[in-house]
Amino acid sequence: MTSVVLGVSAGIAVYKSCELLRLFTESGHDVRVVPTRDALRFVGEPTWAALSGNPVTTEVWESVHEVPHVRIGQSADLVVVAPATADVLARAAHGMANDLLTNTLLTARCPVVFAPAMHTEMWEHPATRANVATLRERGAIVIEPAVGRLTGADSGPGRLPDPAEIFEVCRRVLAGRRAHLAGRHVVVSAGGTREAIDPVRFIGNRSSGLQGYALARTAVARGAEVTLVAANVSLPDPAGAKVVRVESARQLRDAVLAAAGHADAVVMAAAVADFRPVRRSDTKIKKSSAEPDPIHLTKNPDILAELGEIRRARREAYAAGDGPYDAPEGRRSHAGDGPGIGREAGTGGPYPRVIVGFAAETDDVLANGRAKLQRKGCDLLVVNQVGENLAFGTPDNAAVVLTAEGDSVEIPRGPKEDLADVVWDLVAQRLA
Ligand SMILES: Cc1cc2nc3c(=O)[nH]c(=O)nc-3n(C[C@H](O)[C@H](O)[C@H](O)COP(=O)(O)O)c2cc1C
């Protein structure tokens, strides 16, 4: 039985962690709840003890003969702190040990997940940003809070993600797929674009976003900072990903290129319309007795090719010693007096370093895939055969991943998260 420590601190969202606790216990985990003193003002000790079936203490001074300040952390397979207050993030980042939870965090050698929840101002404060960066640098997984209604009438980033989403991150961390992407920023596009014909009609496609969302979720569980560019997806936001919503191919292009300038990898899982109507009517096109006017189409930007082209140009300029280039913004701010824009020490040059495309083919799947990989200049191409009950809208997928070096990796039919894991393994290898 795996041993999970659920740390709870004094955020208003702490009641949601009762549900998280149940998800752990009902799936067979032994859970020891370690609250902070103030957390018990919101939800009392009897609730945690009854739901976990284990004793609950906040202090190092109880049951001292069992040395709980060391034992609990040492014997854990996973520590998850949800909600993690600004205060607990600060104490953990500074290595403080003034209660049982922070002692446990210092003695744990297992993966540690923090799910922060607080008001937007607290989350965005430079002190909290620095504490989160420190914890991430040390290998902890800090899940981005969700955006939405906070205490009172406020809303913004700071909500505790859905307990089921936090549980899913923990489940995958426990499954051993973790940390290969700690400290990395990845961009994933998901869903299908819509090209407006008039205010009510559009040209769209059948993509549900399931594959892109699986990629985002699995990347979060590996410790990556994830920007998810979602085109018309109606799925719940994956915990920990920064979601940017778009509708059309051109909006998706702008969002992906904006995020790609400071990303290590871009995975283009969205189904992007190749064409759009030349003209969008401002008013609904009326049904009349006459035959409708034909819809003339024009080509949309080829985002994958553009990404490859930008990177190629940056590489050439980088090799020639010309600059400047856009540095990954996050790193620039942490790097302080780093080696200069676009020349990040030990990272091997301009960004994004890995570009992954998806190709949905109905015929001549592999030959078309190879040709596309070369045309677009990407590193990996995930080739799906689409058809009835294949790829779109189903929980399963099967694919072949083609590499720029001419290799191929076959992924048998299985959950979209398994496919996502193969993609991230290949991305992590290339980033290593
Ligand atoms: C009603 C109320 C709600 C609070 N909600 C939060 C919160 O969501 N996140 C947070 O970081 N702090 C919140 N605080 C402040 C913390 O409770 C306070 O910083 C406390 O000292 C944290 O203790 P702990 O980190 O040891 O649990 C809240 C305080 C009150 C009174």
**What is the structure's pLDDT at 426?**
93
Task: Give the pLDDT band (50/70/90) at residue 403.
Answer: very high
Per-residue model confidence (pLDDT) at position 334 = 31
Which residue, by CA, sits nearest to atom 2 of ligand 1? 12
Residues comprising the chain, all counted: 432
Number of structural domains found in the chain: 2
Residue 266 and residue 338 in one domain: yes
Average pLDDT value for the chain: 87
Cα distance between residue 272 and residue 147, in whole Å:
26
Q: Which of 3-7, 26-30, 323-327, 357-361 has maximum average pLDDT?
A: 3-7
Q: Based on the domain organization, do 343 and 208 belong to the same domain?
A: yes
Domain limits at 315?
Answer: 185-431
Give all strands of the β-sheet with 265-268 in edge-to-edge order. Answer: 241-246, 225-231, 185-191, 265-268, 354-361, 380-385, 396-403, 408-415
Binned at pLDDT 50, 70 and 90, residue 397 comes out as confident
pLDDT band for position 349 (cuts 50, 70, 90): low
198 shares a domain with 63: no
Give pLDDT, residue 344: 38
What is the rounded end-to-end Cα distance, in angstroms, of the chain?
Answer: 33
Ligand 1 atom closest to the Cα of residue 150 is 8
What is the C-alpha to C-alpha distance for residues 412 and 400, in angstroms, rounded to an integer?
Answer: 8
3-state SS of the chain is CCEEEEEECCCHHHHHHHHHHHHHHHCCCEEEEEECCCHHHHCCHHHHHHHHCCCCCCCCCCCHHHCHHHHHHHCCCEEEEEEECHHHHHHHHCCCCCCHHHHHHHHCCCCEEEEECCCHHHHHCHHHHHHHHHHHHCCCEECCCEEEECCCCCEEEEECCCHHHHHHHHHHHHCCCCCCCCCCEEEEEEEECCEECCCCCEECCCCCCHHHHHHHHHHHHCCCEEEEEEECCCCCCCCCEEEEEECCHHHHHHHHHHHHCCCCEEEECCECCCEEECCCCCCCCCCCCCCCCCCCEEECCCHHHHHHHHHHHHHHHHHHCCCCCCCCHHHHHHHCCCCCCCCCCCCCCCCCCEEEEEEEECCCHHHHHHHHHHHHCCCEEEEEECECCECCCCCEEEEEEEECCCCEEEEEEEEHHHHHHHHHHHHHHHHC
Per-residue pLDDT band for 387 (boundaries 50, 70, 90) equals low
Q: What is the pLDDT of residues 197-236, one digit of tens each?
A: 999 999 999 889 999 999 999 998 888 899 999 999 999 8
Contact 88 CB / ligand 1 (< 6 Å): yes
Which of 6, 17, 38, 128 is the pocket-test mutation for ligand 1 (most atoms within 8 Å of CB)?
38
More reliable by pLDDT, 271 or 326: 271
Percent of the chain with pLDDT over 90: 61
- Cβ count within 10 A of residue 13: 23
Question: Are residues 144 and 25 both part of a single domain?
Answer: yes
Closest alpha carbon to 376 in 308, 286, 290: 308
Asked if 200 and 343 sit in the same domain, the reply is yes
Cα-to-centroid distance, 116 and ligand 1 (Å) = 11
* 367: nearest Cα among 357, 381, 354: 381
Residue 10 Cα to ligand 1 middle (Å): 5
- Counting atoms of ligand 1 from 1, which one is nearest the CA of 88? 25
Token digits for 64? 């001292």
Residue 99 Cα: closest atom of ligand 1: 26
Residues 156 and 234 placed together within one structural domain of the fold: no
Mutation probe of ligand 1 site: the residue of 48, 87, 121, 159 with most atoms within 8 A of C-beta: 87
What is each CA distance from 103 to 78, 91, 108, 175, 204, in whole angstroms? 15, 10, 9, 25, 53
Q: Is residue 309 one of the residues assigned to a domain?
A: yes
Distance CA 133, CA 114 (A): 12
Q: Which of 135, 152, 174 is the last residue of a domain?
A: 174
Please give the Cα distance from 177 to 386 (Å, whole number).
Answer: 28
Can you give the CATH number for the domain in which 280 is found?
A: 3.40.50.10300
Residue 180 in domain: no
Q: How far is the CA of 41 from the centre of ligand 1 (A)?
A: 10
Summarize the confidence of residues 406-425 as an average pLDDT.
89
What pLDDT was estimated at residue 388?
A: 57
- Are both 57 and 198 inside the same structural domain? no
Verify whether ligand 1 is closer than 6 Å to residue 128 (CB atom). no
pLDDT at 343: 35
CATH number of domain containing 33: 3.40.50.1950
Cα 71 to ligand 1 centre (Å): 27
Please tell me the distance between residue 69's alpha carbon and the centre of ligand 1 in angstroms. Answer: 23
Among 132, 140, 135, 141, smallest CA distance to 169 is for 141
Is residue 179 one of the residues assigned to a domain? Answer: no
Higher pLDDT, 278 or 320: 278
Is residue 289 a part of any domain in this protein? yes
Q: How does residue 325 score in pLDDT terms, banded at 50, 70 and 90?
A: very low
Residues 346 and 333: beta-carbon distance below 8 Å: no
Residue 261 has pLDDT above 80, yes or no: yes
- Domain match, 34 and 119 both: yes
Is residue 164 domain-shared with residue 221, that is, in the same domain?
Answer: no
Say which amino acid occupies 397.
N
Question: Which residues are catalytically annotated?
Answer: 205
Q: Residue 377 in contact with residue 344, Cβ under 8 Å? A: no
Of 165, 213, 221, 220, nearest in space to 192 by CA: 213
CB burial of residue 417 (10 Å; 0-12, 13-18, 19+): buried
